[in-house]
A and B are shown apart, each in its own frame.
Chain A
Amino acid sequence: MRDLAAIAAFAAVVGGLTLGLDSGVWLTFIMMALYASLLAQSWNMLGGYGGQFSFGHALFFGTGAYAQAMVQLSLGWNAWLALAAAVAAAVCVAAFVGALTFRYGLKGSYFALATLAFAEVFRILAVSVDFTGGGVGLMLPLRESFANMQFASRRGYIALVLGFVVAAMGVTSWLRHSRFGARLQAVRDNEDAARAVGIDPWSVKLGAIVLSAAFMGAGGAFYVQVFQYIDPGLAFGPVSSVEALVAAIVGGMGTLWGPVLGAAVLHLLAELTRNLFGQLPGLNMIVYGSVLVLIVMFVPRGLSGVGRSVRDVIRGRRG
């Protein structure tokens, strides 16, 4: 219950900020930070609570993105209907990949590399077949209206992605408190022990990957609606996989607020370095990469672990 109240408060604050701010730069920042939070929270469901490290979350992202674009372009579906199709497509791909990899008991780095390989297969397929537009990609015509899920103002997109993030936080909170979540965390902590008490690790992990993919697919659909363009590299390349896992780990995996915090901080860092060092190509990313290493070096438990450490220190002094 406390989780839900906190999520509601978070949504209210972000919503208030969005209404109060008039600067396009800040609105874009909020939008992209929320989008990054969505990807990170999605990764966190499988990686943080399920302990299954995916290096290929772009697989679900790209599937959602392509489904969103293709259903609108070739079948002429409404954008909101397309969103449902995008989520469904990502879920189907996740069910297939999850059923296969978990059936064969892939764990740790093997699972990670398998997801990476599946993402690469999809990228090569997207380049090679005709109906995805090949390497050129797909372009969505600009038709701003609510029915087309294209908004004239950033505020519309923020409302949309905030809705996704709140839903993802709700699901994450459910993972923390529900029986399913308890089973998932048991499998993460000790799969053999979990099996011994009657949990079926296969179905639990399958549930987690499907949940995670649903939100990643929504992220892909959102991307297409905002940028109106997708190509194989953007969809299935490593960028969104990396973005999702880095933000989740830096913020703190297996926590409710870590991924949001990580996404916001990393996004702020990326914006700052781009503004400060943007005139020299490469320099901003050098700073970004170095700070990433420094964060890991000095904050090994993730940013949300800092709060915990501070609390521990205070409690330690009292006791």
Chain B
Amino acid sequence: MYDFGILFSSLLNGVTTGAVYALIALGLTLIYGVLHIINFAHGAALMVALYAVYLLKTNLGIDPYLALPIVVPGMFCLGYALQRGIINRAGHGKDENILLVTLGISIVLENLALLVFKSDTRTIETAYTLTTVAIGPAMIALPKLVAFAGALVASMLLLAILTRTDLGRAIRAVAKEKHGAKLMGIDVDHVYAMCFGVGLACLGAAACFLLPAYYVNPQVGAGFVPVAFTIVVLGGMGSFGGALVGGLLIGVVESMGGLFLGESLGQIGIFAVFIAVLLFRPQGLFGVKA
């Protein structure tokens, strides 16, 4: 019914999209795993990063890939400031309040974008936007390939930070036992803010890899939020390796779903996986039972 070439190109497409999903989900799972908050502003923050990449390209002519060293630290600072200045203060440590605060922040960010940029959908033109590469029987757009490689490298880098550095050790300590970490002299509020910063920095990287083959408008983040949550749950909340594998899996599920069920119904595959995992393996593929 479907020949190998179509299946293979759909698989390739899914894996490359999935790598970017994974990067977005890594940020979300880091924030959830350590701060135990569901960050509803994640999609809006991605949107901010995409606009930053867009503005750098259109106003200063900076290539999206070269914008990485600007956007990633920028998003880190935004995240650090948001957590330290607003979320931590307004949350009062209550889950429902933190939820409302991240919701409020996403409303503000999205409408700020609407005010400044109007609701137009914008894209950027680069020399390589339409370049394709042949891999076996399939053709794939060069930006998607770069995104795949870039997202994998960024994820590895994040994993290295978490496992090899003092900051990573502090983050893992706080995630496991907040009070114990505090007694060991770790500044918990600082670690929280660092986590939020790193989580948003992931979005900065994702935005740089996404935009050459994607678009930006004020609502663009909303589509990514359910997908990112699915990946986080699939991989196991707070599990970084799980987010990576989950991202790739979900990318493939989405792409295959689109192939077999059509564009609109195809997305249902993602949520079917999501609900099945929640019901039958709520700890996720790689998570451990709490």
Give residues in A with beta carbon < 8 Å to B.
53, 100-101, 104-106, 108-110, 112-114, 116-118, 120-121, 124-125, 127-128, 135, 238, 242, 246, 249-250, 253, 280-286, 288-290, 292-294, 296-297, 300
Give residues in B with beta carbon < 8 Å to A.
32, 38, 86, 89-92, 94-97, 99-101, 103-108, 110-115, 118-119, 218, 222, 226, 229-230, 233, 237, 262, 264-265, 267-268, 271-272, 274-275, 278-280, 282
Q: Is the CB of A124 within 8 A of B265?
A: yes
Task: List A contacts of B95 (CB < 8 A).
Answer: 53, 108
Q: A113-B229, A289-B104, A293-B86 are in contact. Are A300 and B111 (CB under 8 A)?
A: no
Q: Is the CB of B92 within 8 A of A293?
A: no
Q: A112-B38, A250-B100, A285-B107 are in contact. Are A117 and B275 (CB under 8 A)?
A: yes
Task: List A contacts of B110 (CB < 8 A).
Answer: 285
Q: Is the CB of B278 within 8 A of A117?
A: yes
Taken together as a complex, chains A and B put the C-alpha atoms of A173 and B271 apart, in Å, by 36
Interface of B is mostly: helix
Q: A124-B268, A249-B96, A283-B111 are in contact. Are A296 and B104 (CB under 8 A)?
A: yes
What's the minimum C-beta distance from B36 to chain A, rounded to whole angstroms?
Answer: 8
Give which listed residue, A53, A108, A116, A249, contacts B226 with CB less than 8 A. Answer: A116
Q: A124-B267, A288-B107 are in contact. Are A104 and B118 (CB under 8 A)?
A: no
Taken together as a complex, chains A and B put the C-alpha atoms of A191 and B38 apart, in Å, by 22
Q: Is the CB of B111 within 8 A of A114?
A: no
Give which listed residue, A105, A128, A242, A282, contacts B264 with CB less than 8 A. Answer: A128
What's the minimum C-beta distance from A119 to chain B, rounded to whole angstroms?
Answer: 9
**Tally of A-B residue pairs with Cβ under 8 A?**
127
What's the minimum C-beta distance from A194 to chain B, rounded to whole angstroms?
Answer: 20
Query: Which of A100, A113, A285, A288 has the most B CB atoms < 10 Å from its CB?
Result: A113
Using A125-B268, A286-B115 as known contacts, list a sample of 8 further A-B pairs with CB atoms less than 8 Å apart, ordered by residue number in A. A101-B279, A113-B229, A114-B275, A116-B226, A124-B267, A125-B265, A128-B264, A293-B108
Taken together as a complex, chains A and B put the C-alpha atoms of A104 and B275 apart, in Å, by 11
Q: Is the CB of B108 within 8 A of A290?
A: yes
Q: Is the CB of B229 within 8 A of A296?
A: no
Q: Is the CB of A116 within 8 A of B229?
A: yes
Task: List B contacts of A300 (CB < 8 A).
Answer: 92, 94, 97
Residue of B nearest to A294 (CB): B90
What's the minimum C-beta distance from B35 to chain A, rounded to whole angstroms?
Answer: 12
What's the minimum C-beta distance from A72 to chain B, rounded to whole angstroms?
Answer: 26
Q: Is the CB of A109 within 8 A of B38?
A: yes
Taken together as a complex, chains A and B put the C-alpha atoms of A280 and B92 apart, in Å, by 33
Q: Is the CB of A113 within 8 A of B278?
A: yes
Q: Is the CB of B107 within 8 A of A289?
A: yes
What are 28 A-B pairs at a CB distance below 8 A? A53-B95, A104-B278, A104-B279, A106-B282, A109-B38, A110-B282, A116-B226, A116-B229, A117-B230, A117-B274, A121-B268, A121-B271, A124-B264, A128-B262, A128-B268, A135-B264, A246-B103, A249-B100, A281-B119, A283-B111, A285-B108, A286-B107, A286-B108, A286-B112, A296-B97, A296-B104, A297-B101, A300-B97
Q: Is the CB of B104 within 8 A of A290?
A: yes
Q: Is the CB of A117 within 8 A of B111?
A: no
Task: List B contacts of A242 (CB < 8 A).
Answer: 103
Residue of A nearest to B233 (CB): A113
Query: Which of B32, B114, B118 has the most A CB atoms < 10 Å from its CB?
Result: B114
Q: Is the CB of B104 within 8 A of A292?
A: yes
Q: Is the CB of B267 within 8 A of A282?
A: no
Residue of A nearest to B269 (CB): A124
Query: Which of A100, A117, A118, A128 has the most B CB atoms < 10 Å from its CB?
Result: A117
Q: Is the CB of A253 within 8 A of B112?
A: no
Residue of A nearest to B92 (CB): A300
Taken together as a complex, chains A and B put the C-alpha atoms of A293 and B40 apart, in Å, by 13
What's the minimum C-beta distance from A232 to chain B, rounded to whole angstroms?
Answer: 10
Task: List A contacts of B91 (CB < 8 A).
Answer: 296
Q: A116-B226, A121-B272 are in contact. Are A110 and B115 (CB under 8 A)?
A: no
Task: List A contacts of B38 (CB < 8 A).
Answer: 109, 112-113
Taken together as a complex, chains A and B put the C-alpha atoms of A110 and B38 apart, in Å, by 10
Taken together as a complex, chains A and B put the C-alpha atoms of A318 and B176 apart, in Å, by 45
Q: Is the CB of A283 within 8 A of B96?
A: no
Residue of A nearest to B91 (CB): A296
What's the minimum C-beta distance from B88 to chain A, rounded to whole angstroms?
Answer: 10
Taken together as a complex, chains A and B put the C-alpha atoms of A292 and B113 apart, in Å, by 18
Q: Is the CB of B278 within 8 A of A282?
A: no
Taken together as a complex, chains A and B put the C-alpha atoms of A124 and B263 apart, in Å, by 10
Taken together as a complex, chains A and B put the C-alpha atoms of A84 and B47 apart, in Å, by 42
Task: List A contacts of B90 (CB < 8 A).
Answer: 293-294, 296-297
Q: Is the CB of A104 within 8 A of B111?
A: no
